[in-house]
Amino acid sequence: MVNFKRLSILAGATCIPASYAQNGTNSSCLIKHLQRADNPFPNGVNATGSHSVPGFQVNSSYPASTWTWSAYVGTTFTDDDNTTTVNTGFGLSTSPLQNLTDPSLPYQGCVVALQLSSTSLKTSVYDNGDCTAAFTAACVAEIIAKANSSSSSISGTSTSADTQCSALLSQISSLSQDSTSTCKGLIAGGGSSGLTVPNVTAAESQTSCPIIDPGNSNATSGAFFTLGDIVQGKDNFETYDTDLETPLPLLVTAWLFDRNAGTSGGGAWADTRLMCIPRNQTISKGSRDVGGTAAASGGTSGTGKPSMGARESVVNLGLLAFVVLAGIGFGI
């Protein structure tokens, strides 16, 4: 069952096509202006966590790198309607630095943030980053196989990232409703966007108004997107506590541009990473920690079990703004 409530919230957002963000000085400057005007963390972040994975290598001679993905949690209270928005955003740090705006980059890709169902939410508190506690080892293998197969099928073709990211999110989300899938009942939708900014070719546009490199991004960069939950009241911590106690599942997949069809020898190269990023490794000074205590100083948090509350999901768009949000109803 599709959660139309979640979809209708997305429909009310302003979606700026990625191509618009990539062509010329004025459009990229407008994007940066919109990012500053819609900072999902105006009060800073309350909690953070990270997880590192190997970077993509299109062949054996391609330079190796380490990609560290970070998740950020922050809250914003609105007096007008007495609501609190609990946001989770994410960013990427690559070492050595991978310039994901480089026109010569041989691949493009998608980032998919998955929503945990009520079932996977309960077990996810025991996850060590590989998502096997959240989704089971069999489901993780199935998700990665599905993403690799989907991305490999369009690798080396002219298929755009916005088309593939939308299709991939739908394919992964549908596993949760497939009675033959090991992921049945474990995924409650999610959001997706592109991984790279491939069409920046004019040097002057980057000089006059630099475009954010997703490979060197953080909470306020706006390189990707932010998922949020709206709850009633100022002291309603149920959703906040749940977000801190559970990880953010992130699926990242890549495939070759059509111009690089022969890079890997067969033209069907694709690769995928699936990780569950903790959101409570570090709690900012004065912020609510897991269990309800305020952190006296920034430091490592404890762990706990999640508590579920009614939530209303929203999405804030970033630079790679062809975001698709899907919701599958499993008691979330």
Q: Mind listing the pLDDT tens digit for each residue in 23-34?
A: 233 334 444 433
Q: What is the pLDDT of residue 70?
A: 96
Give the span between the Cα atoms of 326 and 168, in whole angstroms: 11
Mean pLDDT is lowest, of 28-32, 91-95, 110-114, 156-160, for: 28-32
pLDDT at site 210: 59
Mean pLDDT of the chain: 77
Q: What integer pLDDT is reported at residue 32 of this predicted model?
A: 42
Is position 331 within any domain?
A: no
Helices 137-154 and 161-174, interaxial angle, to 10°? 150
Q: By the 8 A CB rule, do 172 and 147 touch?
A: yes
Question: Which residue is listed with tokens 């996810």?
Answer: 124
Residue 186 has pLDDT above 80, yes or no: yes
Asked if pLDDT for residue 102 goes beyond 70, the answer is yes
How confident is the model over 251-270, as a mean pLDDT? 74
Dist. CA 68–CA 93, nearest whole Å = 5
Q: Categorize the per-residue pLDDT at 259 as very low, low, confident or very high, splitting at 50, 70 and 90.
A: low
pLDDT for the residue 295: 64
Q: Is residue 92 situated within a structural domain?
A: yes
The radius of gyration of the chain's CA atoms, rounded to the nearest angstrom, is 19
Residue 308 identity (one-letter amino acid): M
Is position 130 within any domain? yes
**Overall number of domains in the chain:** 1
Confirm whether 58 is domain-assigned: no
What are the tokens at 214?
A: 């997703």
What are the tens digits of pLDDT across the range 226-250? Answer: 888 899 998 889 999 999 999 999 9
Q: Which domain holds residue 265?
A: 4-53+68-326
pLDDT at 110 over 80: yes
Model pLDDT, residue 37? 43
Residue 277 placed within a domain? yes
**Residue 63 included in any domain:** no
Integer Cα distance of 182 and 120 in angstroms: 12
Strand partners, 71: 49, 90
**Is 62 within a domain?**
no
Helix or strand run (H / E) with residue 230? strand 226-232
- Assigned domain for 148 exists: yes
SS3 288: strand
The pTM score is 0.79
Which residues are CB-neighbours of 180 under 8 A, at least 6 positions away?
none
- Asked whether 214 and 196 are in contact (CB, 8 A), the reply is yes
The amino acid occupying position 242 is T
Q: Do 157 and 150 meet the contact criterion of CB atoms below 8 Å apart?
A: no
